[in-house]
Amino acid sequence: MNRFRRQFFIGLFALVAATVAALWAHRRFHHALPDYAFLTGWALFAAMFVLTFFNARKKLPFLPLGKTETWLQIHIYLGFFTVVLFLIHLNFRLPHGGFEITLAWLFALVSISGVVGLIFSRTLPRRLATRGGEAIFENIPALRHALKTEAENLALGPEAKSPFIGEFYTQRLAPYFAGPKNQWRHFTESRRALHALLAELDDLRRFANDSDREKIEKLAALMRQKDGLDYHRSLQLALKLWLFIHIPLTYGLIVFTLLHIVLVFGFSGGAR
Amino acid sequence: MSNQPSVPNFDAQNYARPNQNWICGHACEGHACRQGPDANGRCRATAECKPMLETKPGEIKGRWRCTRSGGECEAGPLPDGSCCRPIAKCSPVPTLRVWRGRMTLAVVAASCAVLLVLVGRPPWRNQFISPGEISHAHSGELFAAVFATNHFKENCQACHVAGNSGPGGIVTAAMHAKPGILDFQGLANARTAEPTAIDASCLKCHAGRNFHQANAPPISCSFCHAEHQGKIMAAPTDANCVFCHGNSATLVAARVNGGVVPVIHHFAGDHPQFRFLSEKWRDPDTLKFNHALHLTSATIPKLPGGEKLDCTFCHQPDATGALMKPVTFENNCRVCHSLQFDPATPQLMLPHGSVESVTAFLRSLPKQYLNLAIKENTAVANAFVAQKLANLRTLFGSGEELEQRVFFSTATYGPETQIGTLSGSTRAMFPGCAHCHEVKATASGLPEIRKPVMPERWLLQAKFTHAKHTAIGCAQCHDAIHSEATADILLPPKETCAACHSPRGGVADSCAECHTYHKPRIAAR
């Protein structure tokens, strides 16, 4: 059994065991403890705090707090368990009132975005590896610019002598090389746009001599490279964009949770 | 996947750290400067090199030397020691990390702002932070009227001290809560149903818990009465009821006048038998009625529509469907039981409902016959009246004897089967009031007829609705076909109810299904 599989089974076992224990405790103490909701609330908040600390942990690599990989595993399985705690805290009922509904929606969005992120981080790197090539997201504009320059030189440079290739480049390929294209199609693994453009380029062969055909071949190769670059951008962007929901909403959730704690104690039976 | 279009591999020599916050503005053109932007996103580009001053032995001024990597430039440093090839400044571009951080800050700031606005303004605050709709009892017109009288406002403040405070007041209230915010031990050790500070608010109106029994233990109001659950306050759970009713010590302490309240945990289990059975109640009604005879006897005739007499002919649900309409002579009995006293005059009927009316009717028989003659255009009215009276005298003797017969007789004019028959040309004769009623002679001369008393309900501590039980037949619960005496109370025993209302039966069996809270009201009978 390899390390990842072992991690998965340990995490899954821990999650199932914790869930069973929590549900048993809920059944046992739900009616027995008058302040049960307060206790489950604190447990939920503690879990949320640990989950949030994962982000802080990544920014404090110098502290001896264990490996980030371990933290990530804890983050994933504790995240799922937090959903169980959340349902227990709600006593498996829908919340009421504007504040509590907002709080519940924030929790739901953070949880769902986390699950989406987990799915992305488990599937998209595999797709990127299958497609081949390497490109750091921040370097993609530079790489694209280099491809564009090369294609421009081929089609419009001083040695370019084919007006139909130049015209085709100006009309059809210049916009293609100018920026990222077909981002959603790449995400859904569709190559239709590239093949359509390659087919158009291929049609130029009818008018081309040997030298022009060589240029067309090179342009097609550059288009494929650009397509691969766009593919990397699309998937890498998805790998980053889910965090734009997950992290900001997490901190928003923390703000709402802190107020929730103040409100329940300020308005609870123990308050004067 | 050999035909996969590949990506140009990045230049490992020019590796840019992905956790950088800023990227050189020239990076997208493929020639980012080596220094890159500083941590605040400012371009640090100056020149291609920083010339170094070399002073040879014997020289005073020295000479600036180009330090450009990749070789000295042709022009060399300027006389003032600066590089002759300045690098064009760029506008550094923030990375996605920076945008994510900005978005996080924006969300936090927006959350704080929204919460400050909503929590800071009282009209919005009350609506926004309320965890659910207040029950009608605590939000309706009556409640508003009560609080207007007591100089309170109808808002959160009515129950919550923090309800009329600003954000600071709420925080202060939270800090002074008992158990406190971080008092985990106090939270874990809180006793069930223990009165809390907020109960004081309840007692402003419900002084001394005045709608409870005086001997009820002093538990927290909110233990049973959960607010913010909707317009109708949620019924207490079984756990609430069993907290007292399942605890023998509590029940012993709450005993009144030596009475014993049994320990109860479940309806199908240790809930006692219904009191009408355990205490052998008898229906005190004096009306003589035999359910078995009416439902099973072959002598009972068919109804006018040809239908057999059954439960539903007399027992019709009321407008709510919960209970049954009262059974009346006019609606339910007269169709079979005629008040015709003169065998030869079916048009003339005794009145029903009052001894005085019947007596007055009998003592004015000549007038009654005369009215009948006029109504039917009889040619010789006086002769008609005289003949009728003569016939009555032949049958019953004097007027006094006729009265005695009408009030006290239980006999019939023919076979018993004719009492209620509708067959033949005439309806059944009137046998006498005493046939159905309890009739007593009195010194005043007028007999006394006991009014029938038919209780609408027997088990007043519980609620019941027939409307929810229409799927089952009457006889499944009411054993009427074996009841011959009026004194029989035809309610089902607990076991009949528990056959369905139990975990095994699958129908709800919580305490609140049948019981509302029970301050002693009126006697069960």
Q: Are residues A155 and A192 in the same domain?
A: yes
Q: What is the pLDDT of residue B16?
A: 61
Q: Which three-class secondary structure string do you get for A209-272?
A: CHHHHHHHHHHHHHHHHHHHHHHHHHHHHHHHHHHHHHHHHHHHHHHHHHHHHHHHHHHCCCCC
Interface check A267 vs B, CB under 8 A? yes
Q: What is the ipTM of this complex?
A: 0.90
Whether B260 shows a pLDDT value over 80: the answer reads no
Q: What is the pLDDT of residue A85?
A: 96
Whether B522 shows a pLDDT value over 60: the answer reads no
Whether B10 shows a pLDDT value over 60: the answer reads no
Q: What is the pLDDT of residue A209?
A: 87
> Do A147 and B170 count as a contact with CB atoms less than 8 A apart?
no
Q: How confident is the model at residue B8 (pLDDT cuts 50, 70, 90)?
A: low
Q: Are residues A61 and A170 in the same domain?
A: no
Whether B222 shows a pLDDT value over 70: the answer reads yes
Buried b (16+ CB within 10 A) or exposed e, A6-27: ebeeebeeebeebbeebeebbe
Interface check A133 vs B, CB under 8 A? yes
Q: Are residues A100 and A217 in the same domain?
A: no
Whether B448 shows a pLDDT value over 70: the answer reads yes
B493 CB burial (10 A radius; 0-12, 13-18, 19+): middle
pTM for the whole structure: 0.73
Q: Is residue A69 in some structural domain?
A: yes
Smallest CA–CA distance from A132 into chain B, residue: B6
Q: What is the pLDDT of residue B524?
A: 39
Residue B179, preceding bond cis, omega within 30 degrees? yes
| Most B-contacting residue of A29, A33, A38 (CB-CB within 10 A), to test interface | A38
Q: What is the pLDDT of residue B11?
A: 60
Q: How confident is the model at residue B422 (pLDDT cuts 50, 70, 90)?
A: very low
pLDDT, tens digit, for every residue of A229-258?
Answer: 999 999 999 999 999 999 999 999 999 999
HSE-up of B222 (CA within 13 Å, CB side)?
A: 20
Q: Are residues A251 and A128 in the same domain?
A: yes
| Most A-contacting residue of B26, B96, B111, B157 (CB-CB within 10 A), to test interface | B111
Q: How confident is the model at residue B423 (pLDDT cuts 50, 70, 90)?
A: very low
The answer to whether residues B409 and B432 touch, using CB atoms and an 8 Å cutoff, is yes
> Do A136 and B95 count as a contact with CB atoms less than 8 A apart?
no
pLDDT, tens digit, for every residue of B328-350?
Answer: 999 988 888 888 888 888 888 89
Closest CA to B514 of B467, B471, B475, B459: B459
Task: Find chain B residues with C-beta within 8 A of A42's C-beta.
Answer: 184, 187
Q: What is the pLDDT of residue A117?
A: 96
Interface check A95 vs B, CB under 8 A? yes
- Average pLDDT of chain B is 83
CA dihedral B145, B147, B150, B155 (to 10 degrees): -150
Residue A182 structural domain: 137-235
> Do A252 and B156 count as a contact with CB atoms less than 8 A apart?
no
> Do B4 and A134 count as a contact with CB atoms less than 8 A apart?
no
Q: What is the pLDDT of residue A192?
A: 93
> Do B131 and A100 count as a contact with CB atoms less than 8 A apart?
yes
Q: Are residues A186 and A105 in the same domain?
A: no
> Do B110 and A252 count as a contact with CB atoms less than 8 A apart?
yes
> Do A143 and B171 count as a contact with CB atoms less than 8 A apart?
no
The answer to whether residues B489 and B282 touch, using CB atoms and an 8 Å cutoff, is yes
Q: Are residues A116 and A182 in the same domain?
A: no
Q: Is residue A27 in some structural domain?
A: yes
Q: How confident is the model at residue B487 (pLDDT cuts 50, 70, 90)?
A: very high
Q: Are residues A196 and A71 in the same domain?
A: no
Stretch B219-226: mean pLDDT = 86
Task: Kindly state the tokens that stand for A111.
Answer: 């949880």
Q: Are residues A124 and A147 in the same domain?
A: no
d(CA B103, nearest CA chain A) in Å: 6
Q: What is the pLDDT of residue B256?
A: 67
Q: DSSP states of A41-101 as a string?
A: HHHHHHHHHHHHHHHHHHH-TTS-S--HHHHHHHHHHHHHHHHHHHHHHTTTS---SHHHH
Whether B147 shows a pLDDT value over 80: the answer reads no
Number of domains forming the structure of chain A: 2
Q: Are residues A117 and A75 in the same domain?
A: yes
Q: How confident is the model at residue B70 (pLDDT cuts 50, 70, 90)?
A: confident
Q: How confident is the model at residue B428 (pLDDT cuts 50, 70, 90)?
A: low
Residue with the bigger pLDDT between B235 and B270: it is B270
Q: Is residue A44 in some structural domain?
A: yes
Q: Are residues A254 and A177 in the same domain?
A: no
Residue with the bigger pLDDT between B179 and A48: it is A48
Q: What is the pLDDT of residue B46?
A: 85
Percent of the residues in chain B that have a pLDDT greater than 70, as a whole number: 89
Smallest CA–CA distance from B114 into chain A, residue: A256
Region of poorest pLDDT, from A4-18, B192-206, B311-325, B351-365:
B192-206
Q: Of the ranges B8-22, B312-326, B393-407, which is most confident?
A: B312-326
Task: Find chain A residues with C-beta within 8 A of B127's C-beta.
Answer: 98
CA distances from B310 to B212, B333, B509 (A): 43, 13, 30
Stretch B486-506: mean pLDDT = 94
Q: What is the pLDDT along chain A (272 residues), one digit of tens a residue?
A: 688 888 889 999 999 999 999 999 999 988 788 888 999 999 999 999 999 988 888 778 788 888 888 889 999 999 999 999 999 999 999 998 899 999 999 999 999 999 999 999 999 999 999 988 888 888 898 899 999 999 999 999 887 778 899 999 999 999 999 999 999 999 999 999 999 999 999 998 888 888 889 999 999 999 999 999 999 999 999 999 999 999 999 999 999 999 999 999 988 866 65
d(CA B22, nearest CA chain A) in Å: 10
Q: Is residue A208 in some structural domain?
A: yes
